[in-house]
Amino acid sequence: MPLLKSLDMTLAALLTLAAGLAVAGACAAAEPDEATAAAGRVRDIFEAKCIDCHGPELPRPKGKFGYVLDLKRVADNPEYVERGHPEKSELYKMVFNDDMPGEDANVPPLTAEEKDIVKHWIELGAPPAPATAERAAPAPVVVEAEAARPLWQRALRWLGQFHPVTTHFPVALMFVAVLAEGLAWWTRRRSWLDTVRFLVVIAAIASVAAGALGWLNAYFSSYSKAPGALLWWHRWLGTGTSVWVAICAGLILIYKCEEGSKERQQFRGALLLGAALVGISGFLGSALIYGLDHYAWK
């Protein structure tokens, strides 16, 4: 009897162990399936919502981010994803705050369910979507037609698109004004003062117009990299630059600015600073589209 009891206990232990191994095996088998399914759903979301601006076939994708469907490459970029931590991942922050896709996109922002899918994918370690894996058909996307916008929004968006063009005027005029002021200092001719005055006043008008159009453009546009940092600096530095150029125009209009006077020296300092601010603001504006390294030697 003791022997039979011992055999029963051994058999029960073996059955328990076998059941535990089966459950563990099932869980281990389920994990890859869950990761694959999550990656497939995320890829479908990106294909539906992001490919218009960041598709691999685009000659110049926004922010040089043209590999949105390559989940492995996206996840390997620490600027976008920190595996296991969606709250620290810039990619999730952008979709959660509706920064991507932006106002200028032809698709609506991600739904709450789609945001949860992206969040869960990052929590799982941002696994890649196997090329051979069958993906469920993407959910239909409701395209927000431009004609559906109110007329005033379409008008403001159209005006905002002139911002990149208008920025060339204050840049060119301020730099030429610096050159003309240098010639005025070198030749001591008063005729150059009239030239400088004309250039700075027109630059101030153009700078204020460019700043106003920039705010409109930023409202209806989206940018793929650091919209809260790079866009913030460009926006507020550009606004400050417009104010400063207007101050330069006020100085040369209010004061006589005779050669050798204190007012002329103050104006020259303000002019040099204004030209530098205009150049930096223009650089940051280009970086929003082409990246901070767009002047790098290729």
- Model confidence over 192-224: pLDDT tens digits? 999 999 999 999 999 999 999 988 887 776 554
User: According to the model, what pLDDT value does residue 27 have?
Assistant: 40
CATH architecture, domain defined by 151-290:
Up-down Bundle (1.20)
Q: What is the pLDDT of residues 105-133, one digit of tens each?
A: 667 788 888 889 999 999 989 888 766 44
CA–CA gap between residue 61 and residue 68 (Å, rounded):
10
User: According to the model, what pLDDT value does residue 16 have?
Assistant: 53
Domain boundaries, the chain: 2-144, 151-290
Residues of the chain with confidence (pLDDT) below 50: 1, 3-5, 7-8, 11, 14-15, 17-30, 132-145, 224-227
The reported pTM is 0.54
How far from chain centre, in Å, is Cα 97? 13
User: According to the model, what pLDDT value does residue 151 have?
Assistant: 85
CA–CA gap between residue 292 and residue 242 (Å, rounded):
22
User: According to the model, what pLDDT value does residue 130 have?
Assistant: 66
User: According to the model, what pLDDT value does residue 23 have?
Assistant: 38
